[in-house]
């Protein structure tokens, strides 16, 4: 991955550090002077208006977008230059409701080379159930992917992103397309996964109501980081009010 290198000294044992990152596409400056530090086991939320460059920042971290600056990662025992393993759930993937692809088929395609039409081997079925268990989704095994609710689809994609277990989990608007009850369930589950595996989670969200409960840090982005810190610090900031035209705090 371009420009990925070990972090220098870090207060925590493991972190993702973004330093002086900028992205230019054609003559447009999409991101400039982005500095962020994500510690192991933390949930960091990226917020900002549409077109602010949030997804572009994620693409840069994933190595899918050229950038200037440095993205580095350090973890205990990582002595050799090595990129982190990143689990990624993209923004609003859509599947055709008429598509016969089942959740079991999807796992078979993603985790093995065996053609889906041959069905799941016993070993792959066990592996898939183990993956789905991480998101309490064993009951989804035989369902067609195109017929899953927004929350169920996010859980299936999350289960895929967690196999093999990553160092960092990145989610692009996982709550959009999920109903309010489903959103709370999904956030509780992410919190559980974060604690169980000591994962760093970076997620883009427009749901400001959940930030105080679930996020350790929030970064407000509009082509650069306008404000970052604890949720209340960001949500009560002048920068937040200016960007979202809200007075007297976020909620």
25 binds, among ligand ADP, Mg ion, none (CB under 5 to 8 A by kind): ligand ADP
Cis, bond preceding 152 (omega within 30 deg of 0): no
Strand, coil or helix: 54? helix
Binding mask 40-69 for Mg ion (x = CB under 5 A): ---------------x--------------
- Give the DSSP per-residue string, 175-202: TTTS-HHHHHHHHHHHHHHHHHHT-EEE
CB half-sphere exposure, 132, CA atoms < 13 A:
21
**Sites for ligand ADP among residues 22-51 (CB under 6 A):** 25, 30, 48, 50-51
Long-range CB contacts for residues 48-52, cutoff 8 Å, separation at least 24: 48/220, 48/221, 48/222, 48/226, 48/243, 49/222, 49/243, 49/244, 52/221, 52/222, 52/223
- Does residue number 53 form part of the binding site for ligand ADP (CB under 6 A)? yes
Report which residue's Cβ sits closest to Mg ion. Answer: 55
Looking at beta carbons only, is 163 or 239 nearer to ligand ADP? 239
Q: Binding ligand ADP by CB under 6 A: which of 14, 17, 38, 56?
A: 56
Binding mask 180-219 for Mg ion (x = CB under 5 A): ----------------------------------------
Contact between 85 and 164 under an 8 Å Cβ cutoff? The reply is yes
Cα separations (Å) of 87 from 125, 165, 239, 247? 21, 8, 31, 37
- Binding region for ligand ADP (CB under 6 A) out of 3-11, 52-60, 158-166, 195-203: 52-60
Q: How far is the CB of 238 from Mg ion (least distance, A)?
A: 24
Looking at beta carbons only, is 55 or 237 nearer to Mg ion? 55
**Sites for ligand ADP among residues 108-147 (CB under 6 A):** none
Cα separations (Å) of 50 from 25, 55, 223? 17, 10, 11
Q: How far is the CB of 73 from ligand ADP (least distance, A)?
A: 21
Which chain residues interact with Mg ion by CB under 5 A?
Answer: 55
Which chain residues interact with ligand ADP by CB under 6 A?
Answer: 25, 30, 48, 50-56
């Amino acid at each position: 991955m371009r420009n990925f290198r070990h972090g220098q000294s870090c207060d925590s044992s493991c972190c993702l550090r973004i330093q002086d990152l900028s992205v230019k596409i054609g003559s447009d400056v999409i991101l400039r002077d982005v500095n962020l530090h994500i510690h192991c086991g933390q949930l960091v939320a990226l917020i900002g208006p549409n077109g602010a460059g949030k997804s572009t920042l994620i693409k840069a971290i994933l190595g899918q977008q050229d950038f200037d600056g440095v993205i580095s990662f350090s973890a205990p025992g990582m002595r050799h230059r090595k990129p982190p393993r990143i689990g990624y759930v993209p923004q609003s993937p859509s599947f055709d409701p008429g598509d016969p692809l089942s959740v079991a088929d999807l796992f078979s395609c993603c985790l093995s080379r065996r053609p889906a039409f041959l069905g799941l081997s016993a070993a792959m079925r066990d592996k898939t159930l183990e993956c789905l268990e991480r998101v309490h989704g064993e009951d989804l095994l035989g369902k067609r992917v195109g017929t899953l609710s927004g929350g169920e689809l996010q859980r299936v994609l999350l289960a895929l992103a967690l196999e093999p277990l990553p160092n960092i989990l990145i989610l692009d608007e996982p709550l959009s397309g999920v109903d309010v009850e489903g959103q709370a369930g999904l956030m509780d589950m992410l919190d559980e996964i974060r604690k169980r595996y000591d994962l760093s989670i970076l997620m883009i969200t427009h749901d400001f109501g959940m930030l105080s409960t679930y996020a350790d840090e929030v970064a407000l982005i509009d082509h650069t980081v306008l404000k970052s810190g604890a949720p209340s610090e960001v949500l009560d900031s002048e920068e937040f009010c200016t960007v979202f035209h809200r007075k007297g705090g976020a909620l």
